[in-house]
């Protein structure tokens, strides 16, 4: 499960590529698919899927893309550099306070103003002390002040050759653009002016030197944040969704009218009304004074809250609306409040299905006859019924029992529906008077008391759980999200687990962006020469060095540890879907139930076996020969006697109802009742016996001297376990074999001796042969029949192994899921530019298999494991197979001993004779190689048998694991058919959740919402360009995503191209530098001798740098021409 993943900034780049691959909605445009760009179509469908927002591509371009740096034209998009610049908005927003950003900048030439940058403080009322500590711990990963200072120094050094702050003029801005190869922006005067205005200065002409703002650290912080002050950092600690954070009034908005009204609190959204509906409601309430009318409107608004389409923004480019998405049923991104509520509904439906729907539809026949066509028709009908029942009932069940768990709606109507559903689906079917039976659905079953009790307990627990959630939903309606978030008591009681995870993912976005900045800044500082100011090339070099380095990812125990200490959600931001949790809990419960049922089955089977073959039940049957007669036909006895006063004593004297033909044959020979004098032919209480013998009693006769087999008896007196009966004895009741008398004195006891004397000679010989055969058979049965301890041991091993396998499957799903997600994020499983990733983007409906696959897969795995391991254990201890297995084990021990010797020999030869792939002494390698190959020719038959057994055992363990592929890549593909497509389906579910819930994507989605709400007042083009320049300087390796037609270049060559200005576009830069050299030389002639020497050195440095650029341009031009 553990794997090696990239480290530092290289890992961050892989994750950025991964989120681009997730967000992209089309792969038909190969160039767009591989360049990690996000266009208007991608943003449109992301907002529609995540929040239910209806917005056109034109509105996306005009409102969102234009402000975040992508432009407004049809082909414009966000590249990866612009995505990173957007992701840094919350982090940069925390650099400054409102008062600091609005401070007077007229004294910006004073270098002392380049002081520390203030960090914004969250409202102490918004978060607890623990939350403030956590927030500080997140921010301690990055020293933002140092990053700002060094990034600014690099920008100035690349643009002007000096890290010293300079006046922010148009000329300086253009030099910065040229230094970063943004030549399309150099001539955009309007943009340059806006960028200077963002610093609080005037757009001066190029030859103006006075009055400009000094471009120092404080100014740099101002231009990075002046357009994003509407971002409220306090929302990062609230137990609210991004949608509520974006469209609830910000603290500085006061009483401003927003597109979504507030109810109960200024921070609680009401999805029932848009802009037009609000005005209509206000007019109605103002004109209608009737209290009943107002109450009716309030109830109606509460019932219709969130239904239909709601206007959330009325922009100059048209209205933007939010539609009703039925988020209660949204299991793709878990758009509910409580995960436990969702899981309990899932588990409840599974129990509901097994109790009331399982095997339904088979009672109604659609055709008569046994023909194949009729069987096919009946099968189609049955499965169609199952499909309709599960689909229709399932939707209704989840909609009504999940009511009140909606993340957007808040309504007492939902609570009422949820409570009513508990009675309809859970409680009423348990009431005997309300049970019914139909061909399709039944609630009345003829079950054992154990099964009835089991389901009764399950449904009572479910009803209690559902009622608890509906109570919390009712209380939650009374308070706003902000009120709940501020109160520790309310937040612990009313905030659902999914809402808590929403807050954790906000923290994960903070952590990951800060870590990304810290990793990048570390490359600027690693191996940095003392006194060096330009770290641009050094960062690229260090990035190239770490690109191939890896580190071990968290293993099984590390992942569970991070799950329990919340690092999995608060740092990595990995979302595990509710359907996965429902499947895991069902796996665990089903495993326990299956083991209990199998244990009961094995116990009953072993008890039956023991009572049949090793039973010690007492049955003492005895009779006095004085009460017996030997009937005869024409003077010949047929081989039996008839007796009265036969005593049957003990609970082992079991008897069977006699067959009618036997009764007619024997009834006239059974003596009459001693009291009533009635015959057995007039009474039905006649029984036959199979293997019971009655002992003869009398004077000088002891137990075992003579016994007669009980044939049929009529009991006429019963006292506890003692019965007095009249019986026929001496004939076997199964095959009517006569003369069944045994004992050494039988031939001397009258009337038994007369019966035995009448035996034909041939029958005497056959009887002797049968007795010998029976003795031989008894000996063989004794050897074949296993002992009780063997069966108990086999059952115990099977049940324990099955329980271990079930628990193992349960505990491995979370680590396996997390490991798969981390592999995608780190590029171990390729995403962007990988043709194989496209298969995960298609047929997303297949993710609906996941829950069923998890449950029944684990169930099958446990069942097979119990049967296989119980059977294997039985074969090991059974007397019949034990000798054979002893031989096999002896052979295996012998082979193991020789293999141990071979391993030692090969290890020695390997160290002595091999250096990697090369042989030090070829003759030793040749001789030993042939010898080993000949030996292995005989061994490999056993190896293949062992391999077969291992694969079968592995298949048993992995048949319930759809979270990880059992077959290797490409194995099991027969043409377009994949024999094991379920792991691919599981990965589709993970990637679908990642596409909505990844912390980076969640942060981008929140920024999109702020752009929709605030329009051009938030994240302007000029501010986005400043942040883009910040990214260029901090992460120069990302600039490869700004170079066209270089997707196939090796990364090392591409980074070299970035570090060396290797393009004809730099000719303009060279000319500008040469002009600066001439100006410096003219100034030198006017200065003193000391200053003259200093400036000459500077001019020489610039001259050398310009010459080097010229050489690089020439080299690159030559390479391009070739």
Spatial distance between the Cα atoms of 1120 and 1114, rounded to a whole number of angstroms: 10
Q: Which two tokens stand for residue 67?
A: 């402000």
Q: Which two tokens stand for residue 1070?
A: 């060279």
Residue-level pLDDT at 1085: 60
Q: How far apart are CA 796 and CA 140, in angstroms?
A: 55
Comparing 366-375, 875-884, 1073-1082, the range with the smallest average pLDDT is 1073-1082
Q: Which segment of 543-547, 908-912, 1089-1093 scores lowest on mean pLDDT?
A: 1089-1093
User: Over the stretch 685-701, which tens digit does the pLDDT of each residue have?
Assistant: 677 777 788 899 887 78
- Give yes or no for residue 142 having a pLDDT over 60: no
**Beta strand pairing call for 38-39 and 914-915:** unpaired
Q: Between 279 and 40, whose confidence is greater?
A: 40
d(CA 594, CA 1000): 43
Q: How far apart are CA 1021 and CA 815, in angstroms?
A: 43
* Among 517, 518, 700, 694, CA closest to 620: 694
Rounded Cα–Cα distance for residues 71 and 191 (Å): 12
User: In a 3-state reduction of DSSP, which class is residue 358?
Assistant: coil
Report CA dihedral (344, 348, 351, 354) to the nearest 10 degrees. Answer: -130
At residue 995, the pLDDT reads: 93
Residue 818 pLDDT class (50, 70, 90 cuts): very high
Q: What is the mean pLDDT of residues 223-228?
A: 90
The answer to whether the beta carbons of residues 581 and 345 sit under 8 Å apart is no
Q: Return the axis-axis angle of helices 1051-1059 and 536-546, rounded to nearest 10°.
A: 170
Say what the pLDDT of residue 53 is. Answer: 92
- The pLDDT tens digits of the residues spanning 634-686 come to 667 788 888 888 888 877 676 666 667 777 777 777 777 666 777 767 665 67
For residue 779, pLDDT beyond 50: yes
pLDDT band at 1118 (very low <50, low <70, confident <90, very high): very low
Q: Which residue has the tokens 């992942």?
A: 559
Average pLDDT rounded to a whole number, residues 1000-1009: 94
Residue 1096 scores a pLDDT above 50: no
pLDDT of residue 949: 83
User: Which residues, listed in sequence order, are joined to residue 321 by a DSSP beta bridge?
Assistant: 54, 311
State the Cα–Cα distance between residues 273 and 309, nearest whole angstrom.
9
**835 phi-psi bin (left φ>0, alpha ψ -120 to 50, beta other):** alpha
| DSSP 8-state symbol, 127 | S
Cis before residue 1036, ω within 30 degrees of 0? Answer: no
Q: What is the pLDDT of residue 997?
A: 92
E strand residue ranges, 655-706: 656-657, 686-688, 693-697
What is the mean predicted confidence (pLDDT) over 58-75? 81
Read off the pLDDT band of 137 (50, 70, 90): very low
Q: Provide the pLDDT for residue 909.
A: 79
Confirm if 1011 and 86 have CB atoms less than 8 A apart: no
Q: Is the pLDDT of residue 1086 over 70?
A: no
Which of 11-25, 149-163, 287-301, 522-536 has the weakest average pLDDT? 287-301
CB of 215 within 8 A of CB of 172? Answer: yes
DSSP letters, 1039-1108, are GGGGSTT-TTS-HHHHHHHHHTT-SGGGHHHHHHHHHHHHHHHHHHHHS-HHHHHHHHHHHHHHHHHHHH
Of residues 267 and 784, more confidently modeled: 784
CB 162 within 8 A of CB 156: yes
**Is the pLDDT assigned to residue 574 strictly greater than 90?**
yes
- Which two tokens mark 837? 């990733």
pLDDT of 145 above 50: yes
CB 622 within 8 A of CB 653: no
Judge contact between 267 and 481, C-beta under 8 A: yes
Calpha distance 6→14 (Å, rounded): 8
Give residue 97's pLDDT band: very low, low, confident or very high (50, 70, 90). low
Closest CA to 1112 of 1073, 1074, 1058, 1035: 1058
Stretch 423-434: mean pLDDT, rounded?
A: 85
Rounded distance, CA 950 to CA 597, Å?
Answer: 28
Those residues whose C-beta lies under 8 Å from the C-beta of residue 834, and which sit 6 or more positions away, are none
**Residue 69 pLDDT greater than 60, yes or no:** yes
Tens of pLDDT, residue by residue over 1008-1063, are 999 999 988 999 999 999 999 999 999 999 988 874 434 444 555 445 545 544 34
Confidence of residue 996 (pLDDT cuts 50, 70, 90): very high
Contacts of 750 by beta carbon, 8 Å cutoff, 6+ apart:
625
- pLDDT(284) > 80: no
Supply the pLDDT for residue 138: 40
- Predicted pLDDT of residue 563: 92
Encode pLDDT of 969-988 as tens digits.
777 677 777 778 888 889 99
User: Please, which residues bridge with residue 741 across strands?
Assistant: 708
pLDDT digits (tens, 9 = 90+) for 376-415: 888 888 888 888 888 888 899 999 998 888 887 778 888 8
Residue with tokens 């997390």: 818
Q: How confident is the model at residue 208 (pLDDT cuts 50, 70, 90)?
A: very low
The mean-pLDDT minimum among 138-147, 538-547, 674-683, 739-748 falls in 138-147
Q: Are 170 and 201 in contact (CB under 8 A)?
A: no
pLDDT-above-70 percentage for the chain = 75
Helix (H) or strand (E) holding 466: helix 449-477
Is-contact 617 889, C-beta < 8 A? Answer: no
Residue 800 has pLDDT above 90, yes or no: yes
Region 515-529: what's the mean pLDDT?
Answer: 88
Answer whether 1072's CB lies under 8 Å from 175's CB: yes
Residue given tokens 């539809």 in the structure block: 361
**Helix %, strand %, coil % of the chain (to 5):** 60, 10, 30
Mean pLDDT of 957-977: 78
Please give the structure tokens belonging to residue 647: 């005593």
Task: Tell me the pLDDT band of 188, cut-offs 50, 70 and 90.
Answer: confident
**What's the pLDDT at 267?**
34
Per DSSP bridges, beta strands 620-624 and 693-697 are parallel
**What is the residue-wise DSSP string for 528-593?**
PPTT----HHHHHHHHHHHTT-EEEPP-HHHHHHHHHTTHIIIII-PPPPHHHHHHHHHHHHHHHH
Whole-number Å distance between alpha carbons of 499 and 496: 5
> Which pLDDT value is given to residue 262?
34
Least confident of 35-39, 273-277, 932-936: 273-277
Residue among 277, 339, 344, 267 nearest 306 (CA): 277
The first and second tokens of residue 629, run together, are 């007669």
Q: CB atoms < 10 A from the CB of 100, how many? A: 15
Give the per-residue pLDDT at 1004: 94
- What size, in residues, is the chain? 1122
C-alpha span between 743 and 738 (Å, rounded): 15
Distance CA 178, CA 510 (A): 32
Structure-block tokens of residue 495: 């905030």
Q: Give the pLDDT band (50/70/90) at residue 562.
A: very high
Question: If you write DSSP's letter for every residue of 132-193 in order, what string do you get?
Answer: HHHHHHHHTT--HHHHHHHHHHHHHHHHHS--S--B--HHHHHHHHHHTT-HHHHT-HHHHH
Mean of pLDDT over the chain? 77
Hunting for tokens 């991964």 — which residue is that? 18
From CA 423, how far away is CA 1060, in angstroms rounded? Answer: 74
């Amino acid at each position: 499960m553990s794997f090696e993943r990239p480290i530092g900034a290289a890992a961050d780049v892989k994750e950025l590529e991964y989120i681009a691959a997730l967000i992209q909605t089309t792969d038909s445009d190969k160039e767009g698919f591989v360049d990690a760009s996000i266009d208007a179509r991608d943003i449109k469908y992301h907002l529609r899927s995540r929040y239910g927002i209806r917005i056109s591509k034109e509105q996306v371009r005009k409102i969102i893309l234009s402000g975040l740096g992508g432009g407004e034209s049809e082909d414009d998009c966000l590249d990866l550099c612009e995505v990173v610049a957007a992701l840094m908005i919350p982090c940069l927003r925390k650099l400054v306070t409102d008062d600091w950003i609005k401070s007077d900048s007229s004294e910006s030439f004073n270098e002392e103003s380049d002081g520390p940058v203030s960090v914004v403080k969250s409202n102490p009322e918004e978060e607890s002390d623990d939350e403030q500590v956590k927030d500080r711990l997140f921010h301690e990963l990055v020293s933002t002040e140092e990053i700002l200072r060094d990034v600014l120094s690099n920008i100035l050094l690349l643009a002007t050759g000096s890290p010293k702050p300079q006046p922010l003029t148009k000329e300086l801005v253009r030099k910065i653009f040229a230094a970063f190869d943004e030549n399309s922006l150099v001539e955009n005067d309007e943009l340059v002016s806006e960028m200077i205005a963002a610093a609080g200065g005037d757009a001066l002409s190029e030859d103006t030197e006075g009055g400009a703002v000094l471009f120092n650290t404080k100014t740099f912080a101002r231009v990075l944040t002046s357009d994003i002050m509407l971002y409220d950092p306090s929302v990062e600690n609230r137990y609210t969704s991004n949608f509520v954070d974006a469209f609830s009034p910000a603290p500085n908005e006061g009483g401003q009218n927003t597109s979504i009204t507030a109810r109960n609190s200024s921070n609680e959204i009401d999805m029932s009304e848009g802009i037009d509906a609000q005005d209509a409601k206000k007019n109605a309430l103002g004109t209608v004074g009737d209290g009943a009318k107002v109450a009716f409107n309030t109830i109606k608004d509460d019932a219709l809250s969130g239904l239909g389409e709601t206007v959330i923004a009325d922009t100059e480019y048209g209205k933007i609306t939010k539609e009703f998405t039925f988020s209660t049923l949204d299991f793709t991104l878990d758009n509910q409040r409580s995960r436990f509520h969702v899981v309990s509904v899932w588990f409840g439906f599974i129990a509901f299905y097994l109790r009331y729907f399982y095997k339904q539809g088979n009672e109604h026949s659609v055709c008569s006859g046994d023909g194949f066509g009729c069987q096919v028709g009946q099968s189609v009908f049955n499965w169609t019924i199952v499909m309709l029942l599960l689909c229709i009932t399932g939707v209704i069940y989840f909609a009504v029992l999940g009511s009140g768990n909606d993340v957007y709606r808040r309504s007492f109507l939902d609570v009422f529906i949820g409570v009513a559903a508990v009675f309809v689906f859970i409680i009423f079917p348990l009431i005997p008077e309300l049970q019914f039976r139909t061909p399709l659905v039944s609630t009345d079953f003829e079950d054992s008391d154990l099964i009835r009790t089991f389901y009764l307990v399950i449904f009572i627990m479910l009803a209690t759980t559902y009622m608890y959630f509906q109570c919390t939903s009712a209380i939650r309606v009374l308070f706003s999200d902000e009120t709940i978030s501020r109160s520790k008591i309310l937040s612990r009681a009313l905030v659902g687990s999914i809402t808590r995870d929403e807050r954790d993912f906000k923290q994960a976005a903070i952590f990951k962006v800060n870590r990304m900045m810290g990793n990048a800044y570390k490359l600027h500082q690693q191996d940095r020469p003392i006194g060096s100011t330009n770290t641009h090339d050094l960062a690229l070099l260090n990035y190239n060095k770490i690109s191939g380095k890896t580190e071990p990812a968290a293993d099984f125990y590390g992942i569970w540890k991070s799950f329990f200490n919340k690092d999995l959600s608060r740092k990595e931001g990995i979302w595990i879907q509710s359907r996965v949790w429902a499947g895991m809990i069902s796996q665990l419960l089903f495993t326990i139930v299956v083991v209990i049922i199998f244990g009961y089955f094995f116990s009953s089977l072993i008890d039956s076996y023991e009572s049949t073959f090793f039973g010690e039940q007492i049955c003492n049957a005895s009779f006095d020969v004085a009460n017996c007669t030997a009937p005869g036909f024409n003077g010949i006895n047929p081989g039996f006697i008839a007796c009265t006063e036969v005593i049957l004593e003990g609970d082992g004297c079991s008897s069977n109802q006699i067959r009618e033909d036997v009764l007619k044959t024997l009834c006239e020979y059974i003596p009459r009742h001693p009291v009533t004098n009635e015959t057995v032919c007039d009474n039905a209480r006649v029984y036959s016996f199979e293997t019971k013998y009655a002992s003869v009693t009398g004077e000088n006769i002891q137990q075992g001297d003579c016994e007669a087999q009980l044939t049929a008896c009529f009991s006429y007196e019963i006292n506890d376990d003692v019965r007095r009966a009249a019986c026929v004895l001496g004939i076997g009741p199964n095959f009517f074999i006569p003369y069944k008398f045994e004992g050494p004195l039988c031939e001397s006891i009258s009337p038994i001796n007369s019966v035995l004397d009448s035996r034909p000679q041939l029958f005497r010989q056959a009887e002797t042969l049968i007795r010998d055969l029976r003795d031989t058979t008894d000996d063989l049965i004794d050897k074949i029949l296993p002992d009780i301890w063997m069966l108990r041991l086999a059952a115990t091993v099977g049940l324990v192994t099955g329980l271990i396998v079930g628990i193992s499957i349960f505990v491995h799903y979370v680590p396996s899921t997390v490991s798969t997600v981390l592999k995608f994020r780190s590029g171990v499983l390729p995403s962007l530019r990988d043709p194989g990733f496209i298969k995960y983007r298609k047929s997303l409906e297949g993710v609906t298999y996941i829950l069923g696959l998890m449950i029944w897969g684990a169930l099958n795995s446990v069942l097979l494991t119990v049967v296989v391991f119980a059977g294997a254990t039985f074969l090991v201890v059974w007397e019949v197979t034990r000798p054979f297995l002893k031989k096999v084990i002896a052979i295996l021990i012998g082979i193991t001993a020789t293999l141990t010797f071979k391993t030692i020999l090969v290890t020695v030869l390997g160290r002595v004779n091999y250096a990697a792939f090369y042989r030090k002494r070829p003759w030793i390698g040749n001789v030993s190689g042939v010898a080993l190959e000949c030996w292995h020719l005989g061994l490999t038959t056993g190896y293949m048998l062992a391999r077969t057994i291992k694969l079968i055992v592995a298949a048993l363990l992995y048949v319930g694991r759809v979270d990880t592929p059992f077959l290797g890549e490409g194995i099991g593909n027969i043409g377009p058919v994949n024999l094991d497509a379920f792991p691919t389906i599981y990965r589709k579910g993970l990637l679908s959740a990642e596409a909505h819930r990844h912390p980076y994507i969640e942060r981008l989605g929140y920024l999109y919402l702020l752009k929709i709400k605030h329009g051009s007042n938030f994240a302007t083009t000029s501010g986005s360009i400043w942040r883009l320049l910040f990214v260029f300087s901090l992460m120069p390796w990302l600039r490869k995503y700004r170079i066209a037609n270089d997707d196939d270049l090796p990364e090392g060559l591409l980074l070299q191209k970035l570090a060396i200005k290797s393009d004809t576009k730099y000719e303009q830069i060279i000319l500008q530098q040469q002009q600066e050299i001439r100006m410096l030389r003219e100034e030198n002639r006017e200065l003193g001798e000391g200053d003259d020497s200093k400036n000459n050195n500077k001019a020489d440095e610039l001259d050398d740098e310009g010459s080097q650029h010229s050489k690089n341009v020439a080299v690159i031009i030559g390479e391009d021409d070739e």
